[in-house]
Chain A
Amino acid sequence: MSGFNIEVDGKSVPATSGQTVLEAALAAGVDLPHLCACTREGYQPIGTCRTCLVEVNEDHELVPACRQTAAAGLKVNSDSDRARRTRRIVVELLASEMSEAAAQRHPDSLFQRLVQRVEADASRFGHRPARSEPDRKHPAITVDADACIRCGRCRAACQDVQVNGVIALAGRGDNIHVVFDTGLPMGDSSCVSCGECAQVCPTGALSYSVLSAIDAPPPIEHVGETVCPFCSVGCRVELHVAEDRVVYAEGADGPANHGRLCVKGRFGYLRHPDRLTTPLVRREDAPKVASHNLRGREVLALFRPASWDEALDHAARGFRSLRDSRGGDALAILGSAKGTNEAAYVLQKLARTGFGTNHVDHCTRLCASVPPLAEATGFSAVTVPIEQIAQANVALMVGSNPDTNHPVAASYMKNAIRRGTKLILIDPYRQSMVRLATLHLQLRPGTDVALLSAMTRLVITEGLYDRQFVNERLEGFDELVQRIAPYTPDVAERICGVPAAMIVEAARMFAKAPAAMTFWGMGASQHVHGADNIRATIAFALVCGQVGRPGAGLHPLRGQNNVQGSCDAGLLPNYFPGYRSLEDTTQRHDFSNLWSAELPAEKGLTVVEIVDAIRCDRIKGLYVVGGNPAMANPDLAATREALARLDHLVVQDIFPTETTAFADVVLPAAALAESPGTVTNTDRIIQLVEPALPPPGDAREDWAIVCDMASRLGLPWAGMSLEAIFDEMAAMVPMLNGLNWRWLKNERCARYPIKSKAPGHGIQPASALAMPHDSLFATDFPRGNRAQLAALDGHRPSELPDDRFPLTLVTGRLREHWHTGSMTRRAPILDALSPEALVHINPADFERLDLASDRFIRVETRRGSVSVRPLSDRRIQEGVIWLAMSFFEAAANELTISKLDDYTRVPEYKFCAARVVELYASSY
């Protein structure tokens, strides 16, 4: 990209080839008037509003600056009489498209500001007669059709950027108008409520309902930035704050999202009255009862408010006495991947040095998509970031539904697919990406290994695999060939229910692609054979040599905003920070020296194992920071029984959760938007966050609470600072070597692995394009020259359907809700969009069982039952039922089975046997 200068209104403006005049001018701070042009990434110039017309080189015609390509020496004049007059009249014509009332409803819109700026007379050409009142049927976005000037920005937002395909311009001539789907009201359409259209609408025709609500919001006092807490993509969010509450949120230009957001990021702000604002101590007269299944504020009746000193003394005393009487093995910590790196680091340090235990784990255990990647390559993060799908010819996706769970990542995938990347989808469910997929291999649940083995076998027998890569970069190939020998396409067809011809076509397409990217998600990992599913996926990709080139690599789609960082920070029972070995005496010695403590060498227990250990009285004290095992763990009845048995439970969270019902002490924490620190996204980008608003009441930041707890356990942590914590962590975590807090404070973000220090400071900021490290392992792997094609454990689903429980239950997530719903169910807009758990059932089963969508049924498994309304859903296979996990009213994990994968220790959330029983007629 070569640089040159152009002249805009007498000022010299730097430009690069490919840039438009408008882009160059705006980047240089010369604010040329414009309207329909959106200079954010992904928006093409529309060129229809005609407000950015300029004179170029004194040519005869006016041209739109948004479409004029910059070229060296170009002279642009936006301020000539001719340009100004034309622009003013064009704006006056646009203003006549609004009704007078609608224009008055949106006095601060971008368009009205343009009217003033060009000194247009908005009523010169009259106004359209008022035709409709604003439509407030959608819970988050108000449609004021009378305010629309038909610029097409919302269409571009919905079709080109987010690729949701809901908004179009229909009609012709002067009758052109915005429609949703086939002309439905927005609230009835297939809109996914990402809000991109409202963010870019210049007139207020599409706007956040909160801004036009009857009880007008207070004026915005300040705008702060944070990272969205809801998934691993790491979108930066701009929070508009008044009276210490978020009024509305917009996408900020972050390294991962470039202004885009999804429904959760935009509407999931947490200002619910349930927020914990003061420390709580359990009342003497409130016993812990396993059958207690309390929700929300009900829990608070079990507690009395306390000062921080009293609560922390009480919390620490319980842990200290258990440690002194029974040893560290009786204590455990469950952290969270929703906090900062610093909180995760001090929490694991507290476990190892203060509690004297390695029983420290967190919810990443429950997505478990990375350990098989580490086993194969020696690296515990994605080899290639999401955005490189733009350079992939083919993308293989196994058991992931990014449109629902990583919507902003999905938008980049859909951008690529529209530019020609072919998508091969392996999923039992006809999810929304199917309509964009080249091939959808709709296998029976739990048969991934057979399908992927058949694909691997085919590329080997047909000689399509990468022979050189296999010879030079892989080990275990002969064993692999032996293992997959039985899986011909026909055999796989019988096992998986996928036509053999389609299996063949998919395998050939992937193997022949110059660059193919491989994604997998929890549909692959959350099985007792989850590691095997992923091993089989990785083996297929590696045999085809699809790693280490632009657009070729392995990408597990992960769950939480700091899932990468909290693992890097060592919040794991089997690793020190930076995945350094517990057993290795040198490594242990390093940490022992650094922390001046004797460190336990034995691997600790994982999330579900900790609960099992509580049930058999091995673990007696538990510190839960930001987790909710009473809703997230499998087999909730057994989990509650365990939690009620604990001698001492301390829960630290932002909301009262189902788990707090069993707590002795509850500590109110600050949310991510209220905390400073760093978080690391799935693409290995570490981002700095600063508080966008203060925590409510007496709530405090996680890391500070943990440090105070540590001090009360006799550790000298009183003077800890975030800077010191980060720098200690960066020194011990190989991936972060070379980073420090001061640098990050300036640069805001970086992608690791950090480029080796060049003269000066050679740290590569994440925003820099085409980093050499983008697609890792072009020449070797962290574990050595060769990646390992790991042997499989060979498990089958642990509970197959039978006569008594004839259906297969699969659990999952909805777009609007996150995990156990403790946050998103308390975001009013998200709960309004998706208020109720529904069990999805294939239409044939629905009819056979004589169900009706207004009659509740009971879904039963050997572990428990929930009452829920059924939904006939043709996307579900016959014999399968599907339930989201986020609703406490019908908690899917009452039903799930507590069997674990041997290697990743993830429970089998995606497969158990179930039946449905008619319950009673609903009252409506």
Chain B
Amino acid sequence: MTRMITFTLNGEPVAAEIKPHHNLVELLQRDFNLMGARESCGQCSPCRVGTTKMARAISDGSLDHATLNDLSVAMSEASICALGRNAGKFLARVIRTLPERQL
């Protein structure tokens, strides 16, 4: 069940062959050698829940800075592996660039 898709990647039009179970992270890593995109394996809660919350908060400003700070602490202190820990550290660094949520 392979099919061809086309989309825009970093401003360039690209094409790729995908199967139904492939997700975007796998596609970027395998076909375009872009290793920056990662996916939580979902095993431990700080990373599994934290990365999802963090991604949403960065894009829509849905969490205030205090909550984001706590989130980054839990991710960087409590995740099992470096994926979640580094995501938490990254969050700690970008918090101040995010607009404070208006309550």
Q: Which residues of A contact B (CB under 8 A)?
A: 47-50, 53, 61-62, 82, 85-86, 89-90, 92-94, 96-97, 124-125, 149-151, 171-176
Asked whether, in the complex, the Cβ of A174 is within 8 Å of the Cβ of B48, the reply is yes
Asked whether, in the complex, the Cβ of A172 is within 8 Å of the Cβ of B41, the reply is yes
Asked whether, in the complex, the Cβ of A93 is within 8 Å of the Cβ of B50, the reply is yes
In the complex, which residue of chain B has the Cβ closest to the Cβ of A86? Answer: B77
Asked whether, in the complex, the Cβ of B74 is within 8 Å of the Cβ of A93, the reply is yes
Asked whether, in the complex, the Cβ of B78 is within 8 Å of the Cβ of A50, the reply is yes
Asked whether, in the complex, the Cβ of A50 is within 8 Å of the Cβ of B45, the reply is yes
How far, in whole Å, are A49 and B70 apart by their CA atoms in the complex?
A: 17
For chain B residues 39-65, which have a beta carbon within 8 Å of chain A?
A: 39-46, 48-53, 63
In the complex, which residue of chain B has the Cβ closest to the Cβ of A128? Answer: B49
B71, CB-defined interface residue at 8 Å: yes
Asked whether, in the complex, the Cβ of A93 is within 8 Å of the Cβ of B40, the reply is no
How far, in whole Å, are A278 and B40 apart by their CA atoms in the complex?
A: 64
**Count of chain B residues with a beta carbon within 8 Å of a chain A beta carbon:** 24
Q: In the complex, how many angstroms separate the beta carbon of B93 from the nearest chain A beta carbon?
A: 18
Most buried by A among B40, B70, B73, B79: B70
Q: In the complex, how many angstroms separate the beta carbon of A454 from the nearest chain B beta carbon?
A: 50
Residues of A within 8 A of B77 (CB): 53, 61-62, 82, 86
In the complex, which residue of chain A has the Cβ closest to the Cβ of B78? Answer: A50
Residues of B within 8 A of A50 (CB): 44-46, 78-80
Contact A93/B67 with A86-B78, A173-B41 known, Cβ cut-off 8 Å: no
How far, in whole Å, are A48 and B45 apart by their CA atoms in the complex?
A: 7
Asked whether, in the complex, the Cβ of A173 is within 8 Å of the Cβ of B45, the reply is no
Contact A49/B40 with A124-B67, A125-B67 known, Cβ cut-off 8 Å: no
Residues of B within 8 A of A82 (CB): 77
Q: In the complex, how many angstroms separate the beta carbon of B41 from the nearest chain A beta carbon?
A: 7
* Contact code string B71-89 (vs A, CB < 8 Å = 1, else 0): 1011001111000000000
In the complex, which residue of chain B has the Cβ closest to the Cβ of A124? Answer: B67
Asked whether, in the complex, the Cβ of B48 is within 8 Å of the Cβ of A150, the reply is yes
Contact of B42 among A61, A89, A94, A174 (CB under 8 A): A174
Q: List 11 A-B contacts (CB under 8 A).
A: A49-B45, A50-B78, A50-B80, A53-B78, A61-B77, A90-B78, A92-B70, A97-B45, A125-B71, A172-B42, A174-B51
How far, in whole Å, are A61 and B70 apart by their CA atoms in the complex?
A: 17
Contact of B73 among A48, A86, A174 (CB under 8 A): A86
Asked whether, in the complex, the Cβ of A176 is within 8 Å of the Cβ of B67, the reply is no
Asked whether, in the complex, the Cβ of A90 is within 8 Å of the Cβ of B42, the reply is no
Contact A90/B48 with A172-B42, A173-B39 known, Cβ cut-off 8 Å: no
Q: In the complex, how many angstroms separate the beta carbon of B55 from the nearest chain A beta carbon?
A: 10
Most buried by B among A50, A53, A93: A93
Residues of A within 8 A of B42 (CB): 150, 171-176
Asked whether, in the complex, the Cβ of B70 is within 8 Å of the Cβ of A90, the reply is no
Q: In the complex, how many angstroms separate the beta carbon of B75 from the nearest chain A beta carbon?
A: 9
Asked whether, in the complex, the Cβ of B49 is within 8 Å of the Cβ of A97, the reply is yes
Asked whether, in the complex, the Cβ of B46 is within 8 Å of the Cβ of A93, the reply is yes
Residues of A within 8 A of B74 (CB): 86, 89-90, 93
Residues of A within 8 A of B80 (CB): 47-48, 50
Q: In the complex, how many angstroms separate the beta carbon of A103 from the nearest chain B beta carbon?
A: 15
How far, in whole Å, are A93 and B75 apart by their CA atoms in the complex?
A: 10
For chain B residues 10-54, which have a beta carbon within 8 Å of chain A?
A: 39-46, 48-53
How far, in whole Å, are A20 and B63 apart by their CA atoms in the complex?
A: 37
Residues of B within 8 A of A61 (CB): 77
Q: In the complex, how many angstroms separate the beta carbon of A911 from the nearest chain B beta carbon?
A: 51
Contact A93/B45 with A48-B80, A50-B78, A86-B73 known, Cβ cut-off 8 Å: yes
Q: In the complex, how many angstroms separate the beta carbon of B63 from the nearest chain A beta carbon?
A: 8
Q: In the complex, how many angstroms separate the beta carbon of B26 from the nearest chain A beta carbon?
A: 10
Asked whether, in the complex, the Cβ of B49 is within 8 Å of the Cβ of A173, the reply is no
Residues of A within 8 A of B49 (CB): 93-94, 96-97, 125, 174
Asked whether, in the complex, the Cβ of A62 is within 8 Å of the Cβ of B78, the reply is yes
Give me 4 other A-B pairs in contact (C-beta within 8 A), A49-B44, A50-B78, A96-B49 excluded. Answer: A92-B70, A93-B74, A150-B45, A173-B48
Q: In the complex, how many angstroms separate the beta carbon of B23 from the nearest chain A beta carbon?
A: 8
In the complex, which residue of chain A has the Cβ closest to the Cβ of B39? Answer: A173
How far, in whole Å, are A138 and B53 apart by their CA atoms in the complex?
A: 34
How far, in whole Å, are A174 and B23 apart by their CA atoms in the complex?
A: 13
Q: In the complex, how many angstroms separate the beta carbon of A703 from the nearest chain B beta carbon?
A: 54
Asked whether, in the complex, the Cβ of A48 is within 8 Å of the Cβ of B41, the reply is no
Contact of A94 among B41, B43, B45, B71 (CB under 8 A): B45
Residues of A within 8 A of B71 (CB): 89, 93, 125
Most buried by B among A89, A92, A94: A89
How far, in whole Å, are A172 and B48 apart by their CA atoms in the complex?
A: 9
Q: In the complex, how many angstroms separate the beta carbon of B84 from the nearest chain A beta carbon?
A: 10
Asked whether, in the complex, the Cβ of A48 is within 8 Å of the Cβ of B52, the reply is no
Asked whether, in the complex, the Cβ of B43 is within 8 Å of the Cβ of A93, the reply is no
How far, in whole Å, are A149 and B43 apart by their CA atoms in the complex?
A: 11
How far, in whole Å, are A432 and B84 apart by their CA atoms in the complex?
A: 41
In the complex, which residue of chain B has the Cβ closest to the Cβ of A36? Answer: B45
Residues of B within 8 A of A124 (CB): 67, 70
How far, in whole Å, are A86 and B63 apart by their CA atoms in the complex?
A: 18
Residues of A within 8 A of B46 (CB): 50, 90, 93
Contact A93/B53 with A48-B80, A86-B78 known, Cβ cut-off 8 Å: yes
How far, in whole Å, are A187 and B42 apart by their CA atoms in the complex?
A: 27
In the complex, which residue of chain A has the Cβ closest to the Cβ of B52? Answer: A174
Asked whether, in the complex, the Cβ of A89 is within 8 Å of the Cβ of B73, the reply is yes
How far, in whole Å, are A279 and B39 apart by their CA atoms in the complex?
A: 70
Residues of B within 8 A of A53 (CB): 77-78
Residues of A within 8 A of B79 (CB): 50
Residues of B within 8 A of A90 (CB): 45-46, 74, 78
Contact of A173 among B40, B53, B63, B78 (CB under 8 A): B40
How far, in whole Å, are A239 and B22 apart by their CA atoms in the complex?
A: 49
Q: In the complex, how many angstroms separate the beta carbon of A378 from the nearest chain B beta carbon?
A: 55
How far, in whole Å, are A422 and B94 apart by their CA atoms in the complex?
A: 56
How far, in whole Å, are A287 and B33 apart by their CA atoms in the complex?
A: 90
How far, in whole Å, are A53 and B79 apart by their CA atoms in the complex?
A: 10
How far, in whole Å, are A149 and B80 apart by their CA atoms in the complex?
A: 17
Residues of A within 8 A of B41 (CB): 172-173
How far, in whole Å, are A124 and B40 apart by their CA atoms in the complex?
A: 22
Q: In the complex, how many angstroms separate the beta carbon of B85 from the nearest chain A beta carbon?
A: 9
Contact of A48 among B39, B43, B53, B63 (CB under 8 A): B43
In the complex, which residue of chain B has the Cβ closest to the Cβ of A62? Answer: B77
How far, in whole Å, are A53 and B39 apart by their CA atoms in the complex?
A: 24
Residues of B within 8 A of A150 (CB): 42, 45, 48
How far, in whole Å, are A171 and B40 apart by their CA atoms in the complex?
A: 12
Residues of A within 8 A of B67 (CB): 124-125
